[in-house]
Chain A
Amino acid sequence: MLDYLLEGLVALTIVGGAVFTLIGSIGLLRLQDVFQRMHAPTKATTIGTGLILVASSLTTWLAHRELSLHEVLVALLLFVSAPVSAYMISRVALQQGLRTREGSSADAPRPPDGEDR
């Protein structure tokens, strides 16, 4: 009975993680400029992959009655590297002189005279 519930939880976690990943990608496609697009993949996609890793760890518990630590390693690597790569990419965007769109509430520098890139 408990195993059945746990299997349902794993299924829910897998689908939830995949939905979060899809939301991150849709955000990457639909948002307006680089500084807005930075948000979607670095947060939603990382959480989605993290949920799938949790599901994988629970699956190992279902099969062998032991928690595996490989997932923790992958999750740690992802959670440490995602902010660093987002920081590097935003530095590239700033150095290339990209600006936020007119009327955006973001914190990045505004276009000086209505120039829109």
Chain B
Amino acid sequence: MLDLAVLIGVALICLSMLIVLVRALRGPTLPDRILALDTLYVNAIGLIILLGISDRDQIHFEAAILIALIGFVGTVALAKFALRRDVME
């Protein structure tokens, strides 16, 4: 039962990442693209956690924490750059 649920979850999240990618490529304005990239990394965290559930080990959480940290920093850096054309002040 668990394996089937993980399979369905992986399929749904992959579909959702494809949809987000469409918005990132199409997105008429810059904030749209930044928002799509932000959503993409949150989806990637969900995908990695599902992989950890199906493999039944703990090592995947390190990757999830790293992606969460670096994704957040990346989003803030992109937004700062779009605001001021400068990341650090």
A and B interact? yes
Residues of A within 8 A of B (CB): 7-8, 10-12, 14-15, 17-19, 21-22, 24-26, 28-29, 34, 37-38, 41, 45-46, 48-49, 52-53, 55-56, 59-60, 63, 68, 70-71, 73-74, 77-78, 81-82, 84-85, 88-93, 95-96, 98, 117
Binary contact readout B48-72 vs A (1 if CB under 8 angstroms, 0 otherwise): 0110110010100100110011011
Least CB distance, A10 to chain B, in whole angstroms: 6
Q: A19-B12, A22-B13 are in contact. List 12 more A-B contacts (CB 8 A).
A: A21-B13, A24-B39, A25-B23, A29-B19, A48-B46, A49-B43, A56-B49, A60-B58, A70-B61, A70-B64, A73-B61, A74-B61
Interface of B is mostly: helix
Q: Which residues of chain A have C-beta atoms less than 8 A from B8's C-beta?
A: 14-15, 18
When A and B form their complex, which 6 residue pairs have the shortest distance between CB atoms, in order from nearest? A11-B5, A88-B79, A18-B12, A70-B61, A25-B16, A41-B39
Which among A11, A25, A70 is the interface contact of B4 at CB below 8 angstroms?
Answer: A11
Q: Which residues of chain B have C-beta atoms less than 8 A from A89's C-beta?
A: 31, 34-35, 38, 75, 79
Binary contact readout B9-29 vs A (1 if CB under 8 angstroms, 0 otherwise): 111110111011011000011
Cβ-based interface call for B88 (8 A): no
Q: Are A28 and B19 in contact (CB under 8 A)?
A: yes
A-B contact pairs, 9 of them (CB 8 A): A41-B20, A41-B42, A59-B2, A73-B65, A74-B45, A88-B79, A88-B83, A89-B31, A117-B29
Q: Are A71 and B17 in contact (CB under 8 A)?
A: no
Report the separation of the CA atoms of residues A59 and B58 in the bound assembly, to the nearest whole angstrom.
11
Q: Are A28 and B2 in contact (CB under 8 A)?
A: no
Which among B23, B29, B34, B42 is the interface contact of A98 at CB below 8 angstroms?
Answer: B29
